[in-house]
Amino acid sequence: MKKTIFAVAMAALLSSCTVIRQGEIGVKRRYGKLSPTIVDAGLVSYNPFSTRVLKVPIRTTNQEVRMNLPSKEGLTVESEISILYSIEKAKVPFILEDVGQNFASVLIMNVFRSAAADVSAQYMAKDMHSGMRSKIEIQIQEKMHESLRTRGVVVERVLMKSIKLPEELSRAIERKLAAEQEAQQMEYVLDRERKEAERRKIEAQGTREAQKILAEGLVKEIIELRSIEAFRELANSPNAKIIITDGKTPFLINSQKD
């Protein structure tokens, strides 16, 4: 009998206590009326016959959503988006009173769907798959913040994790990228050919200038001077030789050693 009484007492004691974890707060609801007092993390006791303790996370929550976004040209873009948000501690009792415990789906998700549709409808479908994505994320976040800040919901980030464009648009973008790559390759080839042609032109100009300078330098006096120098070298040579000359330029027709 004593064991039974003890067991009942322990069960009653355990049922009248709950634990609020880190990153959560508790709000007591007694006879259907919410208490304005917030209960912090720890062990909380309450009367299970008249009171309940509602637990609400105030840490950053990640809510992932799959939805079809409308584009400016009327296409539908499949997307997977993450919403990072948190609840202001002081506003939790008011959120529970105004919206209820399912505030995430009733309040946050509805505001998000409206904001995402409004923002995406201002952009072309291809923009959601390009560098414009971050701009779209920021605009959705700001639009949600305008609607939720007075309710105590802090929208920290909106992240477009994946975007799936319509198949025909995806193929068109791929063809465009391929064409752009081919154009860049052709521009590279043409640029290389232009540089090579310029190099040859400069080389030809240099050769022509050198020949011009050489031709201008071969005047009559220079030629006679070179002839005298050639005669002098032949005269100093120990080899037997026959030289035909007009007195101006030597022409060696035979040469042998002694």
- DSSP secondary structure of 200-220: HHHHHHHHHHHHHHHHHH--H
- Of residues 78 and 209, more confidence is placed in 78
pLDDT greater than 90 at residue 118:
yes
> H or E segment at 236?
none
Which of 57-71, 125-139, 207-221, 244-258 has the weakest average pLDDT?
Answer: 244-258
- Domains of the chain with CATH codes: 2-57 (no CATH), 61-169 (3.30.479.30), 220-256 (no CATH)
pLDDT value, residue 168: 65
Q: Is residue 49 within 8 Å of residue 16, measured between CB atoms?
A: no
Percent with pLDDT over 90 in the chain = 22
Of residues 88, 84, 134, the one with CA closest to residue 108:
84
Under the phi-then-psi rule, with left for phi > 0, alpha for psi from -120 to 50, and beta for the rest, what region is 242? beta
Give the pLDDT confidence of 148-191 residue by residue, as tens digits: 989 999 999 999 988 887 666 656 655 666 666 767 777 877 78
- Of residues 225 and 114, more confidence is placed in 114
Give the pLDDT confidence of 83-98 residue by residue, as tens digits: 999 999 999 998 988 8
pTM higher than the cut 0.75: no
Which of 130-134, 159-163, 243-247 has the weakest average pLDDT?
Answer: 243-247
Parallel/antiparallel/unpaired status of strands 153-164 and 42-45: unpaired
Of residues 123, 187, 111, the one with CA closest to residue 147:
111
- Of residues 209 and 118, more confidence is placed in 118
